[in-house]
Amino acid sequence: MAERHCVIIGNGPAANEAALTLREKDTDLRITMIGKERVGCYRTHLLPNYIIGKTREEDLYVHPTDFYADKNIKLRLGQPVKSVDFSKHEIVLDHKEIVKYHGLIIATGGKPRIPEPFLVFSDIFLTLKTVADANAWIKKLKQIDSVLLVGGDLTSFVFADALIKMGKTVHFVLNDESFWPIRCTPEIFNQATGALSAAGVQVVPCQRLKRLAVQSENSVHVETDSVSLTVGAVGAFFGLRPDVSFLARSGLTIEAGIIVDEHLKTDFDNVYAAGDCAQVFHPELKDYWVSIGYSNAKNLGRIAALNLLGGTFEAEMAPTKIFQMDGIKFNTSWWTEF
């Protein structure tokens, strides 16, 4: 291999920004992006609107397919990575292909978090992170009238609102473990309950989800420590966790995410991590943090790319965005420990 080959694992905002930055700075580099999903980079925050038909599918996507070919970036979609051998500089794809790299940026983002005690219900839960998830919801919602949402992450509040607008009955299990990416305080709890109730959501206060039983394809019986009810589907909204399980035992330092230094470099030379899968020590917070949000991901993607090319830029630490939904405000762009 005469030319230098940089591989980016992921196809989200961090990955895209990294690829474009690499190309911008180096016109000769061979760049490959390997994405697990079968579709191009899309705007996750539009998914609730897409589900209720307010956003067209084509408007979800950030770039047309040929955009990458024009930039001489090889985009490979629908090809999960199985493992990485950092000592041999090899990526092993799920279909048993070996791709060698000189530089690597891992930007796989997050995947829905299901806390361990809820894992037994994971076959029943629907999540909402990808276009494929959204399509599953669209299909499901055609057949059901009521939904139970469990959790309490940023998407869940927006989605609850969207479902109400669709005319669905929405139940919402809220307890102090629900919130993500911040810890619950009584103040937030009351704020959220109030806002949801005002929007027409039926808030179910309970400490424990005791039993979920599928009665038929479109009917799930739910028992909590306070009530029991029957709904059409159950959605799990416990936030995200870094999608890095394929790197387990690869030698990378992984806690929640891939632990990187302030330059987003991993333990290995020429290997960087960026976006929602990276975990950085934040000197002001005095703790590790994992970024959330589109613009954070883009910034980190750019920094990782610049540093891979020899730069020494530091990860942007300032919170850049306030999420809000009718009366609930989260001023955060990170999460630390869950």
Partner 1 sequence: MSHDKSSKAYSDTPSQPEQKVFYSTDPADFFYMSVNVPCQDYCPAKTNVPAYIRAIYESKFSSSYEINRMVNILPGVLGRICSRPCEDRCRHGEKELGRSVNICHLKRAAGDHKSVGHIYEHQLFAPNGKRVCVIGSGPTGLAAAHDLSMTGFHVTILEAYDEPGGMLRYGIPDFRLPRDILTSEIDAVLRMGVDLKTKVVVGKDVSMEQLLTEYDAVLVSTGCYASRALNEPGEDLPGVYSGLEFVMEVSAGAKIDLGNRVLVLGAGFTAFDCARYALRLGAEDVSICIRGLEEELTVTADEIHEAKLEGIKIRSLMIPHRVVGESKVEGMEFLRSKPGEKIPNRKRKVTPIPDTNFTLAADAIIIAIGQSAIPIPAAAETDESGVLKTDPETFRSTAKGLYAAGDYITGPSTVIDCIAAGRKAAEQIARDLLGRKFREWVVSIQETKITDRERSWDYIPRVEMPKVESIEERLNPPDTEVELGFSNSESLEESKRCYLCYLHYEIDMNRCIYCRWCIDEAPRDCIKLVENVTLNEDGAVIGLTESSSWNKVNAVVIDNTQCIRCGACLRVCPMDCISVSKVQLIEKTVSVGEQNG
Partner 2 sequence: MSIIDITVEVCGMAGDGTIAAGGLINEAMSLAGFSVLGFDSYPAEIRGFGRCVTRSRIGSSDILALADVTHVLVSLDDEQSISRVPFLSRPATVIFDNKPPGYIEEAQSLVAKLEPDTHLLGMPLHDLAVAASGTARGRNLTALGGFAAIFGASPDFFRQVITKKFKRKGEKVLASNIMSFDAGYNYAVEQFADRLQPVFVDATQTDTEKVMLSGNEAIGKAALDARLKLYFGYPITPATPIMEYLAKHLPEQGGRVVQMEDEISSIGAVLGSYYAGARAMTATSGPGFALMTELIGLGVMAEIPAVILDAQRGGPSTGLPTKTEQSDLHAAVFGGPGDSGRIVIAPTNVSECYKYTVKSFQFAEKYQSPVIVLTDFYLDNRVENVPPPSSTAGEIEDMTIGPHKDVAGSYVRFEDTASGISPRSIPGAQGFNYVATGLEHTKTGSPNYSPEVHMSMTEKRFRKLETALQDDLPKPKEFGASEEMDLGVIGWGSTFGSVLEAVNLAKQKGHRVGALKIISIFPYHRKEIKSFMAKCREILLPELNFSGQLANLIGPLHHGEIIRINEVTGVPISPATILFKIEEIIAQLASSRVHDYQN
Chain positions contacting partner 1, by CB under 8 A: 82-83, 92, 96, 116-117, 119-120, 248-249, 251, 253-255, 259, 267, 281, 286-288, 337
For the bound state, the minimum distance from the C-beta of residue 207 to partner 1, rounded and expressed in Å, comes to 10
Residue 93 binding target from partner 1, partner 2, none, CB below 5 to 8 Å by type: partner 2
Picked from partner 2, partner 1, none, the partner binding residue 97 (CB below 5 to 8 A depending on kind) is partner 2
CA–CA dist 59, 66 (Å, integer): 16
Minimum CB–partner distance for residue 301 and partner 2 (Å): 19
Return the number of the residue (139 or 249) whose C-beta is nearest partner 1: 249
The nearest distance, CB 79 to partner 2, in angstroms, is 6
Pairing of strands 219-224, 233-237: unpaired
**126 binds, options partner 1, partner 2, none, Cβ within 5 to 8 A by partner type:** none
Tell me 25's DSSP state.
Answer: H
* Token duo for residue 267: 């333990």
- The partner in contact with residue 281, picked from partner 1, partner 2, none with C-beta cut-offs of 5 to 8 angstroms by kind, is partner 1
Q: Given the complex with partner 1, which of 96 and 139 has the nearer CB atom?
A: 96
Closest separation in Å from C-beta 92 to partner 1 = 8
Closest C-alpha to 113, from 127, 102, 123: 127
Closer residue to partner 2, CB minimum distance, 22 or 73: 73
Nearer to partner 2, 8 or 280 (CB): 8
Beta strands in 206-270 (DSSP E): 209-216, 219-224, 228-231, 233-237, 240-242, 258-260
CB of 254 to partner 1, least distance (A): 6
* Min CB(287)–partner 1 separation in Å: 6
Burial class (CB in 10 A: 0-12, 13-18, 19+), 191: middle
* The Cα angle at residue 43 between residues 39 and 44, in degrees rounded to 5: 90
Q: How far apart are the first and last CA of the chain?
A: 43
For partner 1, the closer of residues 3 and 269 by Cβ is: 269
Q: Which residues bind partner 2 (CB under 8 A)?
A: 38, 40, 65, 68-69, 74-79, 92-100, 132, 135
Residue 1's CB is within 10 A of a number of other CB atoms, namely 8
Nearer to partner 1, 120 or 322 (CB): 120
Please give the helix or strand (H or E) that residue 84 lies within, else none.
Answer: strand 81-85
- C-alpha angle 72-11-277 in degrees, rounded to nearest 5: 135
